[in-house]
Structure formats: C-alpha cells, structure tokens
Amino acid sequence: MSAQRRYHPVTDRSEPIFNVPPVVIATVALLVFIHLLRTFVLSDAQDVTVLLTFAFIPARYGTHLHGYVFPGGLGADIWTFFTYAFLHADLLHIGLNLAWLLPFGTALARRFGAARYVAFMLTMAAAGAFAHLIGHPGAVVPMIGASAAISGAMAAAMRFVFQRGGPLGVWRRADDDAYRMPAASLLATLSDSRFLMFIAVWIGLNALFGLGTVSLGGEAGQEIAWQAHIGGFFAGLFLFNLFDPVVPHRAPDVEPNS
C-alpha cells in the first residue's frame, strides 16, 4: 500500500515569488492612473500647473524669486515633499520605477502591513526631497518620480531578505513567515558582503546616471535626481527599525537539570 501525502492548502501551495499585496497593487494603479490622466486628459497648460503645484521645486524655498509665487502657497511647500513621487515624466520613467517597486514594495508590505508601508514610503519620499533640496538649492527645475521612495524600500529590504529563512531562502514560496524573520542589525547589514556588493553597484549606477555617462533615453534637459535616490536609500537603511513591527525572537529560558 503506497503512502499518502496529506495536502495542506496553505503550507503546501507553491506560489509565484511576487504574491503582490493589495496595497502595492493600489500604489501601482494610482501611479498609472495619475500618469494616464496627465497624458491623455489634461492640456499642456493644465499639466504645467500640476507640475508647479505638486512637483518638488527647490526654488520654492529660496529668496531670489523676485516676487514670483508658486501655486499652492504654504500648503504646497509642505505637500510637495510627498506629492512629487506620484508624478512621472514618461512611460520609460514610470515603467522602470514600477519594475523596482513590485519586488521591493511587496517585500516591505508583507512585512510592515499596509499602514506602515504607506507611512514608510511617504517618509522615504520626503527624505529624498530633502536630499535633493540640499544638493540643488534654488533650482527651478521640478523633480518628479517615486525613485527616492523605492530606493528607501530597497535599502529596508536589505535588512531582512538575506536572513536565514528570509524571502531569498524560500524562492518561489509565498510563505509569510519568511517576511517575519528578525532583521539583521544595522552593523551586521553594513558588514554583509552581499549588501556591500549591492550598494556598490547601486551607487555606481546612480553616479553614472547623475554624471550623464549613462542615459535612459530621456528628453534633453532631463536629469536623474541621484541625490534624492541616495537620500531615500540611506533613510530606508537607517530608519528601518522605526517601522519594523517584527520583534526579535528571544532565546528560550533553559533551567539546568537538577
């Protein structure tokens, strides 16, 4: 008589690695909807108004505008630290960002939950905007795109994906426990050769884009806001613990045998 194997509908089910949480799907849908609205519904003049009102423009915070006032007033001085991340220049721009958002946003959303994921991504966007402001004081060119927030998500994911039993250890399994493994300490992460290799390649690519050595095919005058990317990345790396809901496992108490 052959042995039977009991099938469990949760633990035995093989799933694609990207079992995308609803909050990430909602993020993608919102970004695509906004881009389609700007592309096919708004006139050029209306789109310029949107950019001036919701993109991040360092010149807002300067004193050399000679009386010019940007739309949105004081409110826009605050909300543009976040809203610029919902705008994109073209299909290539949004496509590349979504390609990075899906894996890293999925990892974070499954670990953080929806509310913490949203709060984290908005914080990373603000950190990227602040870094861009420091690097480009008084600049009048609008900065747009979710790259800084996604860079923060990438760095945060590095804190736990390499852990034993983490997501990279259960390839193509939708095991929620893999996303609940205690994160590595910041020191351990910074000492991990895999992380160091990742960050070296990532910073190198940003440097090449920022210096104009590599082009993404954008229009003339478009630049890669590499300072914002790096600001978001390091914010995600260092602020991860503030958002992480996973409590490290305690070693069991062991009493000596009598």
Output the pLDDT for position 18.
54
Report domain extents, the chain: 22-243
Output the pLDDT for position 192.
87
Structure tokens at 134: 């420091």
- In terms of C-beta distances under 8 Å and separation of at least 24 residues, what long-range contacts does 33-38 make, across chains too? 34/86, 34/87, 35/87, 35/88, 35/91, 35/94, 38/87
What residues of the chain score a pLDDT lower than 70?
1-18, 63-67, 165-166, 168-175, 209-223, 247-258
Q: What is the pTM of this model?
A: 0.81
CATH class entry, domain 22-243:
mainly alpha
Q: Give residue-wise pLDDT tens across range 142-180.
A: 999 999 999 999 999 999 987 776 676 544 455 677 788
- In contact, 154 and 100? CB cutoff 8 Å: yes
- In contact, 189 and 159? CB cutoff 8 Å: yes
